[in-house]
Homo-oligomer: A and B are copies of this chain.
Amino acid sequence: MKKSITLKELAKLLKVSVSTVSKALNDSHEISESTKRKVEEAAKLHNYKPNRAALNLKSGKTNTIGVVLPSIKNFFLARALRGIESVIANTDYNIVISITNESYEKEVKSVEALTNGMVDGLIISVSEETQILQDFSHLHDIPDDIHMIMFDRVESTITCDKVLVDDYDAISKTVRDLKFKGRNKIVLASTISKLSVGKQRTKGYIDSIKDKHAPILIEGPEDFIEVKLNKLLRDEDIDTIIALDEEASLASFRAGKKNNLLEKGKLFLVGYAGKTMSEHLTPSLTTIDQHGKKVGRTSAKLLLERFKRPNKDIEQVIVDSTLRERDTTTLKKS
């Protein structure tokens, strides 16, 4: 940990003016090669680092992009983050991340901290609490020279570029597929019924199941789902569960296992869950892959384009999901 030095101090040491030093370090053509070298040497020697705050103040830019995520445990959001990073890495922007842990208050704090001059742009997926409270004033208040991209959990009253997942379609398609495979009684399990995405998925289920039987919704926290499902699997002839998030998927999985239904292929289970987890369950879990990385990449690209053309038309991109068939939707051969 060396001592830092300012441009001014450097100038004094070299007995030249600050402007000379500044220009030399910025490789200006109006500085002689010899002084340039001298300045650069001294800068390195004294560990000169330009002061960010001064730079930002002067330029009105920060070259930093803020990413606000509700959670880090969430495999989809983690993938999306990777996607964002992968495209920003090729630019000279830096990324700072802020995790809200699904809290409205933390989200407000994060957004304010970031948008008060820490970042030039924001990529955000809002917290669960924010979607429940339906209070988006902190997002409306963002200075309009800070560009914002919303992804996955978006809000229609906010005008900005958005990246969505085909939640409604993914589930409708899944239900249709399951019906085609002869599944007769399909229940839905969800811990995210308060989220926009959860609602869309549930709607997809309801709309496409209703010609077969009345929708059976199990919504609540992970433990509740497990208990409820345990009972339901014992008492009724459920043959399929669709789980809308990882917690619901695991709760469903445990319930299915406990009742010895999954191994035999008597019970089908389609869930949302990370790849590693899905593949290591026994039997392995069939999932709906939301292509988190692509969602992240798309979001980052939209932001970069917006930087270049601040007045271009607002865009809304939808990324399709893919069904990954594994053992929980496979009939036992033996």
Q: Which residues of A contact B (CB under 8 A)?
A: 1-4, 47, 49-54, 56-57, 62, 64, 72-73, 78, 81-82, 85, 89, 94-99, 101, 106, 109-110, 112-113, 115-118, 140-146, 148, 159-160, 250, 253-254, 257, 276-277, 280-282
Whether the Cβ atoms of A64 and B1 lie closer than 8 Å is: no
Interface of A, helix, strand, loop or mixed by DSSP: mixed
Q: A51-B117, A250-B276 are in contact. Are A140 and B1 (CB under 8 A)?
A: yes
- A-B pairs, 7 with minimum CB distance: A52-B117, A4-B143, A53-B56, A96-B96, A53-B57, A1-B144, A97-B97
The number of times this chain is found in the oligomer is 2
Q: Residues of B contacting A50 with CB < 8 Å? A: 116
Contacts beyond the supplied A2-B142, A53-B62, A85-B101: 6 A-B pairs with Cβ under 8 Å: A1-B143, A49-B112, A94-B113, A253-B280, A254-B280, A277-B280
Q: How far is the CA of A9 from the CA of B89 in the complex (A)?
A: 37
How far, in Å, is A72 (CB) from chain B's closest CB? 6
Central interface residue in A62, A97, A250, by most chain B CB within 10 Å:
A97
Q: How far is the CA of A73 from the CA of B79 in the complex (A)?
A: 9
Q: Residues of B contacting A112 with CB < 8 Å? A: 49
